[in-house]
Amino acid sequence: MTGRTLAYPFAWPSASEQPKEFAGLHDDPVVTVVLPSGDEALLITRYEDIRALLTDPRVSKNRNRPGIARMTTRKVKAFQSQVSMDPPEHTRMRSLISKAFTASRVERLRPRIQELTDGLLDVMEAGPRPVDFATAFAFPLSIQVICELLGVPADEREQFALKQTPPWDYMTDLIERKRASPGEDLISALIEVHDEQDGRLDATELHWWSTMLLLAGYETSANQLCSALVMLTAHPDQLAKLAQDPGLLPGAVEELLRCQVVGTSLSMLRYVTDDIEVGGVTVPRGSSIITALEVANHDPSAFGCPARFDVTRSGDAPQLTFSVGRHFCVGAALARAELQVALASLLHRFPNLRLGVPADRLVRVEDAFTQGFQEVPVTW
């Protein structure tokens, strides 16, 4: 470790530029950072080290540990700390949830994603321009998709685009309604596990995971859609390549995910339960570390010219935006499907799609976790 200390999360200076802290950051395997709470943690910088630590049993996600750094000064619900993020409890819970997000199930959902996409684009096309892409398309699409999967009634979905706090109370009410009248949805399936298969899912886990699946299922996907559009319009040469060759889309989505500018890895705060060697540096037991995915995705040892956005990129390491190992995002296949369907449809419907304001006028969300955009005006 060097003597330097950086503030984390890093700020993204503009719509498509990387944080200035990335320059030379990967020269050191471990860097001390100060979190929004004022606490210090150790930032792991290199791709291979981050991959290894994410699968290391000596690294715990359970933040109910003595001396662990606080991410922010924000207060959280007391029951959050009661849900274990480590095996074996996490493994048990993940095995239940992952059944709802299998690649085959997501593929069966694609026609519905396409139908929802087409409907939103019809409304956009008929309305005035410029239009805010976030509120007109990205959030409505992501909300509709995850709500259909979870079983949130259609007339109750719009509220989630407006609220800035997790819908804990709403989920309590929805769970009770689903218990009284179950359907063919994920929350009903989880309730069945809780009520009929003793010991597999307790009430706190049911509430926590139902809420987290809702939030993670639309906020991250919607912000990634906005980010993808901003990145493409900020690089018209890359947008033109993608428009000319739709076959590039799957790889382009991976590159867009690698170049994420929608959030930080503050929530990737981990606790080290035993001494670990990282790049020749001993990270001592009891340390708070951050396995920063956006930092890994810009490691020059894993990606050639990582500052370059290239929809034809090939031969580099897989991007780590969805994490890896036991905490790999269960919704990765769904997120990819939404991005692929949405971008293909947008480019087909609006071949002259562009930002409605200069990119430097886009304003980011002021949040330690989410660094998406408040609005993304577009026209065509």
CATH number at residue 263: 1.10.630.10
Neighbours of 195 (CB within 10 A): 12
- Return the pLDDT at 260: 76
Q: And the tokens for 280?
A: 């020749």
Nearest residue to 22 via CA among 322, 231, 345, 300: 300
Q: Answer yes or no: 368 catalytic.
A: no
Q: Which pTM value belongs to this model? A: 0.90
pLDDT one digit per residue (tens) for the chain, 380 residues = 656 899 999 988 777 788 999 999 999 999 999 999 999 999 999 999 999 999 999 999 887 788 889 888 765 544 444 455 677 777 777 777 777 677 787 888 899 999 999 999 999 999 999 999 999 999 999 999 999 889 999 999 878 766 556 688 899 999 999 999 999 888 988 888 777 665 567 788 888 888 888 887 888 899 999 999 999 999 999 999 999 999 999 999 999 999 976 778 888 899 999 999 999 999 999 999 999 999 999 999 999 999 999 999 999 999 999 999 888 888 899 999 999 999 999 999 999 999 999 998 998 887 777 778 999 999 99
The letter for the amino acid at 187 is I
Distance CA(1)–CA(32), nearest Å, equals 8
* Catalytic residue chosen out of the listed positions 52, 216, 344, 359: 216
DSSP bridge pairs for 31: 43
Q: CB–CB of 85/62 below 8 Å?
A: yes
Long-range pairs, 123-129, Cβ under 8 A, ≥24: 125/349, 125/350, 129/356, 129/378, 129/379, 129/380
* Catalytic residue chosen out of the listed positions 255, 302, 338, 342: 338
Q: Answer yes or no: 267 catalytic.
A: no
* Catalytic residue chosen out of the listed positions 317, 329, 332, 359: 329
Q: Answer yes or no: 216 catalytic.
A: yes
Among all chains, which residue has been given the structure tokens 């929805």? 174
Peptide bond into 9 cis (omega under 30): yes
Count of structural domains within the chain: 1
| Domain, as residue range, for 359 | 5-379
Q: CB–CB of 309/231 below 8 Å?
A: yes
Question: Which strand (E) or helix (H) includes residue 287?
Answer: none
Q: Answer yes or no: 37 catalytic.
A: no
Q: CB–CB of 272/25 below 8 Å?
A: no
User: Sign of torsion, CA 352 354 356 358?
Assistant: negative
* Catalytic residue chosen out of the listed positions 100, 147, 205, 219: 219
The letter for the amino acid at 136 is A
Q: Counting beta carbons within 10 angstroms of the beta carbon of residue 75, is it exposed (0 to 12), middle (13 to 18) or buried (19 or more)?
A: exposed
Distance CA(347)–CA(246), nearest Å, equals 9
Distance CA(329)–CA(368), nearest Å, equals 20
Task: Report the length, in residues, of the chain.
Answer: 380
* Catalytic residue chosen out of the listed positions 221, 287, 288, 323: 221
Q: Answer yes or no: 259 catalytic.
A: no
DSSP bridge pairs for 132: 377
DSSP bridge pairs for 40: 34
Q: Counting beta carbons within 10 angstroms of the beta carbon of residue 66, is it exposed (0 to 12), middle (13 to 18) or buried (19 or more)?
A: exposed
